[in-house]
Amino acid sequence: RMYKRQMICRRDIDSLNVPFLLMYQSLIPPDEEKVKQKQLLSLLERLVIKEWPKARLYLYGSCANSFGISKSDIDVCLAIEEAHMDKSKLIMKLADILQSDNLQNVQALIHARVPIVKLMDPMTGISCDICINNLLAVVNTKLLWDYSRIDARLRQLAFIIKHWAKSRRVNETYHGTLSSYAYVLMCINFLQQRRPAILPCLQEMKTTYSVTVDDIDCSFFDQVEKLYDFGHRNKETIAQLVWGFFYYWAYCHDYTNDVISVRTGSIISKREKNWTRRIGNDRHLICIEDPFEMSHDLGRVVDKHSIKVLREEFERAADIMQFDPNPCVKLFEPY
Ligand code: GTP
Ligand code: MG
């Protein structure tokens, strides 16, 4: 494989900033959507509390991490102390409780990797997945949200990458490509790696926020107001970063040896994590370390076939960014 395709400077690269920024703006969910999400959440809260007065509901995923594109579903986590009760039983009971009121299509999916209740609110048209006691997801949602507030370029880059991934159909974990969560981690790590860096590594800084979830210590620096000028010395524009991102994943990433790690703000080796060979269904063909669950590789869903698809898409995107007269159209052409 040709690693060293030259990244020749494209002289008109900065003329792409305006179209990319317009695209980013068009993807931001309108305020009404946020209001509707809050309404649905309070409805759910009322129903749940009748049965479990001490229960709490948390939003997580893209509706709370600031990386939500318009018309996303919402992810909700029910925190409850019924540890003695079997998860599937709890899910079925939750489905029962919610069924009774004015919600549609309440389904209990007890055989999924993470068992959930799925439902649709006909009032707002919003769909929602509810899981139980998945507090790690609530904490990583906060980490992503805190990163998004440091430098505006992260949210811009992540929206464009997510939109590209959805258009090109490489955001489908059930087909062996990557989750939105994985793409956002790739963007954060990419900005941590720029020189000068655009993002710091919050987990390597002084601890100002700390929780322990499932025996995992989750601590990081969360006073990000103090970091608003962190990336100022780096003047790269959004067009340069989109190009750089695709160029990195097409021609520079060492798929044989490297692991992307937001936790350390660097690239670490597969060898030190023992991710050099397939174990069970985890093939580790592209490695993205979860910031808190260190043994969790977000790339584990990628298989022999989908790694090829993914790399070809990265190459296609990098080549479009380099040579196409109108990259903003070509890049997002539906697959
Ligand atoms: P969209 O729904 O595509 O807009 O993005 P999303 O941010 O909601 O992402 P996704 O549905 O991929 O993930 C939802 C949340 O689940 C993430 O934000 C994480 O908090 C959490 N999560 C933790 N581990 C995993 C994992 O292995 N895969 C996925 N998909 N999500 C995880
Ligand atoms: Mg989601």
CATH code at position 278: 1.10.1410.10
Indicate whether 21 and 115 sit together in one domain.
no
From CA 134, how far away is CA 294, in angstroms rounded?
16
Query: Is the pLDDT confidence value at 244 over 90?
Result: yes
pLDDT at position 101, please?
Answer: 67
Q: How far is the CA of 60 from the centre of ligand 2 (A)?
A: 8
Q: How far is the CA of 299 from the centre of ligand 1 (A)?
A: 13
The helix/strand/coil state of 168 is coil
Query: Is the pLDDT confidence value at 4 over 60?
Result: no
Q: How far is the CA of 68 from the centre of ligand 1 (A)?
A: 11
Ligand nearest to C-alpha 129: 2
Cβ within 8 Å of residue 317, ≥6 positions away: 164, 168, 246, 250, 331
Closest CA to 294 of 186, 202, 215, 207: 215
Which domain-ending residue is among 86, 110, 136?
136
Ligand 1 site-directed mutation target among 69, 116, 181, 297, most atoms within 8 Å of CB = 181
Indicate whether 186 and 322 sit together in one domain.
yes
C-alpha distances in angstroms, 103 versus 43, 49, 90, 107, 128?
A: 10, 16, 19, 11, 11
Q: Is the dihedral of CA 157, 154, 197, 3 positive or negative?
A: negative
Q: Is the dihedral of CA 274, 136, 205, 183 positive or negative?
A: positive
Q: Which atom of ligand 1 is nearest to the CA of 67?
A: 7
Q: Which atom of ligand 1 is nearest to the CA of 144?
A: 18
Site residues for ligand 1, CB cut-off 6 Å = 60-62, 65, 67-69, 72, 75, 137, 140-141, 179-181, 298
- Tokens read off for 198: 């655009």
- DSSP secondary structure of 102-157: S-EEEEEE-SSSS-EEEEEETTTTEEEEEEES-HHHHHHHHHHHHHHTT-HHHHHH
Phi, psi (deg, nearest 5) at residue 138: -70, -40
pLDDT > 70 fraction of the chain, expressed in percent and rounded: 97
Q: For 260-285, what is the mean pLDDT?
A: 94
Indicate whether 223 and 192 sit together in one domain.
yes
Q: Which atom of ligand 1 is nearest to the CA of 296?
A: 27
Alpha-helical segments (H) within the chain: 17-27, 31-51, 87-99, 135-148, 152-167, 180-193, 238-247, 270-273, 304-323, 327-330
pLDDT at position 82, please?
Answer: 75
150 in any annotated domain: yes
pLDDT at position 5, please?
Answer: 62
Indicate whether 280 and 151 sit together in one domain.
yes
Query: Is the pLDDT confidence value at 332 over 70?
Result: yes
pLDDT at position 3, please?
Answer: 54
103 in any annotated domain: yes
Task: Please report which confidence band the pLDDT of residue 1 belongs to, taking 50, 70 and 90 as the band edges.
Answer: very low
Q: What is the CATH number of the domain that holds 59?
A: 3.30.460.10
Closest CA to 325 of 26, 16, 8, 6: 16
pLDDT for 76-92, tens place per residue?
A: 999 998 777 888 899 99
Which domain-ending residue is among 136, 158, 185?
136
pLDDT > 90 fraction of the chain, expressed in percent and rounded: 83
Q: For 146-171, what is the mean pLDDT?
A: 98
Q: DSSP label at 8?
A: P
pLDDT at position 200, please?
Answer: 98
Q: For 306-311, what is the mean pLDDT?
A: 98
pTM of the model: 0.95
Indicate whether 80 and 220 sit together in one domain.
no
Indicate whether 23 and 35 sit together in one domain.
no
Phi, psi (deg, nearest 5) at residue 166: -70, -40
Cβ distance 73 to 129 under 8 Å?
Answer: yes
Query: Is the pLDDT confidence value at 72 over 90?
Result: no
**Structural domain containing residue 304:** 13-27+145-330
What amino acid occupies position 106? V
Which domain-ending residue is among 136, 155, 178?
136
pLDDT at position 87, please?
Answer: 86
What amino acid occupies position 6? Q
* Average pLDDT score over the chain: 93
- Tokens read off for 207: 């601890």
CA 46 to chain centre: 29
Higher pLDDT, 102 or 269: 269
Query: Is the pLDDT confidence value at 301 over 60?
Result: yes
Q: How far is the CA of 187 from the centre of ligand 1 (A)?
A: 14
Query: Is the pLDDT confidence value at 159 over 70?
Result: yes
The CB density around residue 7, as the number of other CB atoms within 10 Å, is: 15
Ligand nearest to C-alpha 296: 1
Indicate whether 300 and 210 sit together in one domain.
yes
Question: What's the number of domains the chain is made of?
Answer: 2
pLDDT at position 84, please?
Answer: 76
pLDDT for 137-155, tens place per residue?
A: 999 999 999 999 999 999 9
Closest CA to 260 of 222, 228, 288, 300: 288
Indicate whether 88 and 179 sit together in one domain.
no
Looking at the DSSP bridge assignments, the partners of residue 127 are 120
Q: Is the dihedral of CA 76, 77, 80, 86 positive or negative?
A: positive
Q: How far is the CA of 69 from the centre of ligand 2 (A)?
A: 10
Query: Is the pLDDT confidence value at 162 over 60?
Result: yes
